[in-house]
Every structure is written in structure tokens, then in C-alpha cells.
A and B are shown apart, each in its own frame.
Chain A
Amino acid sequence: MAKKFEKGKMVPVPSTAIIPERDIDKTPILECRHLGIDFGGLRAVDDFNLIIGRTEIAGLIGPNGAGKTTVFNLLTKVYQPTRGTILLDGFDTAGKSTEQINQMGIARTFQNIRLFNNLTVEENVKVGLHNQEPYSALTGVLRLPKYWRQEKASHERALELLSIFNMQDLANTPAGSLPYGAQRRLEIVRALATNPSLLLLDEPAAGMNPSETAELMENIVKIRDTFQIAIMLIEHDMRLVMGICEGICVLNFGRVIAKGTAEEIQANPTVIEAYLGKKKEG
């Protein structure tokens, strides 16, 4: 990483959010205010406040069942929040549908891989490019010159995106027959194809071996540097989180229990307690 993130500065209002110094004078890409959702009587997420800088790599960690994926589902409007506001690049996302959220700039991957298994690798990426190829159904049926131009452009774009992970050679393989690690990488490429300004990665390193994880860490930083986007990731692999995340937010029982840099989080007694349990008194 070119510029190591130093201890974050406080952003005045409305929360004690920490974002990298280089992003401070710009509108944060994501701002959650008092976000919450109830499932029946259960407060799955409550009073969730977070600010993410424009080029920040942020981590969302917490014990199992803490509500991390629920936060992702709230951000992408898979669930409608019960309370609170989500600002994306300063715009309120209230009342937007999932696909509009994607068009506004949030893309994500899934904890359980959800590729289109019967489509080829390239077609999966092209589904991501859907809104970047503006031609109508009629143009597609009649195969007007615009159709050929657009399809050629998206073919090239798809291969370019696949080259991030050296996957160009797999373009015509059905996504379902890829090995596990490659499927995880393809999900990231497909999400990138939607041209996001915030990329949400849900456990990108799950099931990967240490060398694959190390490569993934490099690639996440590379993606951030190349595309100049913000990345927020949920991960249980602490080496990955502590290694590349500039700001880390810890959830437990649906509430934020700590926010800060890797060092601050590692030293935080509340976090240690949430993960390891309370030390016996006396």
C-alpha cells in the first residue's frame, strides 16, 4: 500500500466516525445514521452509525450472528430498514429498490456464492455490465449496428475486468464448474462490472487457504487503487482484516461496540470480551 493510514481523525458531526485523512474533505461515500431493523421483536441491528471515506477499505467484524450480513442487506435494500438513514455519496437512499441502489453505486458479493451457474464466466460479468450497455430490446432483436458496437465494447470490458484476477482464459467456462476460489474471485469481478463506488465483500476469504488469502489481500488493495472506490468487507480472517482495513467497526448483538484502527480494535477490552468472553473476577 502506498500510503499507510495513520490514526484516523475525528469527523465533527454526526458521529465519532473515523475515515482516512485523504478522504476527509470529500463527501463520505457512505454514511449510516441510527440505522436499525427489527425482525418481529428482535432488534437485529440497532443504532448503527458509520461513515466510510471515498477510497477507504473498511472492515465489519463481529462474532457469528452479530448482524454483519444484515447490515449489508440493509445497505443494498434487500431488507428495508425499520429506522435510520443511509446516505450514499450524500444522497438519501430511502425508498430506493435494490436495483436502483446498485445503479447508485453499491455492489456486493455474497457469503454463500450466488453466481449464475449456467451462464459462462464472461456472461456473468456481462450481467454486471447490464446497465452500462445502453441499447433497447428492439435493437437487440433487430441486431442494429449499435447492438454489435455495444456487445463488442462489453466483451472487451468483461475481459479487461477478468484480467484483474487473470481469469480471461476461463471466459467461456460455465461459472458453476469453476473451482471454489475462482468462483469467489468471479463474484468480485461481476460486482465490479456494475461500476460501483462502494464495493461490499461478504467474507471474501471464506474457505481460502493462507496463500490464496494473501493474494486476495493484495488484490483488494489493487482494486481500491485502480478503481479509486471504497471497499467494505465482512471477514473472520483477522490477518486479512487487520492487514488491509483502515477503519474497523465491530458489531455484537446488532450494536456497534467499537470503531477504530486495527491497533485500537486489538487493544479494545470490549472487543476482546465479545470474542473471548469475560475474564472471571478475582
Chain B
Amino acid sequence: MEFLAYLVSGISLGSVYAIIALGYTMVYGIAKMLNFAHGDVIMIGGYISYIAAVNLGLPTLVAVVCAMAVCTVLGVVIEGLAYRPLRSAPSLAVLITAIGVSYFLQNSALLIWGANPKSYTPVVEGTLKLFGGQLSISNVSILTVAACIVIMIGLTLFTSKTKMGKAMRACSEDKGAAQLMGINVNRTISLTFAIGSALAAIAGALLCSFSPALMPTTGSMPGIKAFTAAVFGGIGSIPGAFLGGILLGIIESLARGYISTQLSNSIVFAVLIIILLVRPAGLLGKYVPEKV
């Protein structure tokens, strides 16, 4: 029963990672850049939904929608101001810019909201008791897993069945050819950032429901772990991000439960290193050997 409890908490934590990883992986897949500011967009999403719910007294759902709207705009603005001018720059320049944007967002949050943790009210309350009370699953966990599955299916359908999705996949393969077929590459990348950032807002609200202390650095560690999850599952692949996120959550939860709370993060990253040694492209990634 103890194992089951760890497993459940691992899956729900993993679902949050998966939602964040989906944002990472989509942006990487299409814009071929690592958006290290993604974790901080999550934090902003958390703050916005906190303010909307607590200070403005809006219903939780409306608060989350507000956060999604703000983060979508934020994501598109970040892309337009910071990344678009560097579209043809070397990837290192973009990477450094992304780290810069990450610190900018963290310090802006520090200025606006201060360093004191805010205590976040979970988006849903209550727990579900199973096996005569031996196993209790919080409603937040159930909501998170459900949200993650819905988002994953929605994104898969969007990228495979709509014309924007096809444009995204075309851009991900060959931006030049896509442009010559009349596709507006900049708009497609903006759309990707918009979707990724809206997902980050949802992830922010769910993440803060798990660990209610909301601080300007809230997004950093989950951001890094979700990035790990995306690489773990094969970066650029939507099912890969989902699988990577869930597995990472389970590993972390089991490590925390059976080995050591302090060591759980080290174990997570050690597993990542081992997986990448065996499968350099990640679990579902395609390894493309270079043609000679």
C-alpha cells in the first residue's frame, strides 16, 4: 500500500512535469531552441492565478484562465523581443539570451511580489479515500493527471490534424522550405510559444497546488526537471515528453520514499545520465546518424 501511495504521488507529480515538458519540447521541436525561461513563465502563471484568486477574489477556474491569458501574451512578447532578432544567430547566443530572460523574470517577480513565500490555495480541495482509507489520493492529483492526459491528446490532435499543426511540423523540419511554401514561420513560432506558455500557466497553478509556497524561484527546479523529462523522453517528441515526465515523477517519488529525501534529485539526474548513455536520443527520440 505504501508503494501504491508513492506511485500515485509520483504519477501526479510526473503529470505536472509532463505538462511543463510539453511546452519545452514543442518550442524545441519547432524553434530548435531551449527556452530556459519556461520555468519562470510557470512561476509568473502561479503568481497571476494567486493574485486573481486571492486579491481579486475571482473563482479558481477564472483565475487559471487569467493566468493562461497573461502567460500567453508574455510568451509571445518574450519570443518577439528576445528570440526573434536572434533567429539566424548561433544557438549559443539564443541559449544565453534564454538564461538572461529567465533571470529577468525571476528578478522582476522579486521586485513586484517580494521574496516572502505566498501561501497558495490549491485549485481543488479534498481527497479521495480508497481501500477503506488506506490509500488517499488528493483531488489535485486526479485533476493533474486528467489535465495532463487531455492536454497530451489535444496537442497530438492539434499537431497532426490541423493546418497550423502541419505548418508547425513543416517548420520543425525545414524552415526555409516551409517559407517557400507560403508559411509564415515567425507567426508559427509565435503560436508555438503561445501554446507552450498557456500550458506553463496551467502547470503553474497545479504545481503550486502541490507545494503551496509560491516564490520567485518556484519555477526554476521544476523547470529544470521538466527539461530533463523532455530530454529523457526524446526532446521534440510530444509522447516522449509525456512519458519522460511521468517516469521522472515516479522515479523521484520512489527515491524520496525508499532511499532518501535529500538524495531524490541526485538520483533523478543520475538516472537521466544513465538513460542518455544508453539511448542518446532519449526514450522515444529518433537517433539520426549523420550521413557521410
* Chain A residues at the B interface, C-beta cutoff of 8 Å: 76, 78, 97-99, 102-103, 107-108, 110, 114-119, 123, 126-131, 133, 135, 137, 140-141, 147, 150-151, 154, 190-191, 193-194
Contact = CB atoms under 8 A, between A and B. Distances in A.
B13 interface: no
Contacts of B166: 119, 123, 126-127, 130
B162 A140 contact: yes
Given A98-B176, A99-B182, A127-B167, 13 more contacts: A99-B183, A110-B177, A114-B176, A119-B166, A119-B173, A130-B182, A131-B182, A135-B163, A137-B162, A141-B154, A150-B163, A193-B181, A194-B181
B178 interface: yes
B184 to A, nearest CB: 5
A262 B162 CA distance: 46
B92 interface: no
A116 B169 contact: yes
B158 A102 contact: no
Contacts of A135: 163
Main secondary structure of the interface of A (DSSP, over half): helix
A94 to B, nearest CB: 18
B167 A130 contact: yes
Contacts of A110: 177
Nearest to A103: B182
Contacts of B167: 127, 130
Contacts of A103: 182
B156 to A, nearest CB: 13
B274 interface: no
Nearest to A176: B173
Interface of B: 154, 158, 161-167, 169-170, 173-174, 176-185, 191
Main secondary structure of the interface of B (DSSP, over half): helix
A193 to B, nearest CB: 8
B169 A118 contact: yes
Given A135-B163, A137-B191, A140-B164, A119 B181 contact: no
A109 B32 CA distance: 24
Contacts of A137: 162, 164, 191
Nearest to B161: A151
A154 B166 CA distance: 13
Contact of A102 (B162, B163, B180): B180
A78 B170 contact: no
A140 B182 contact: no
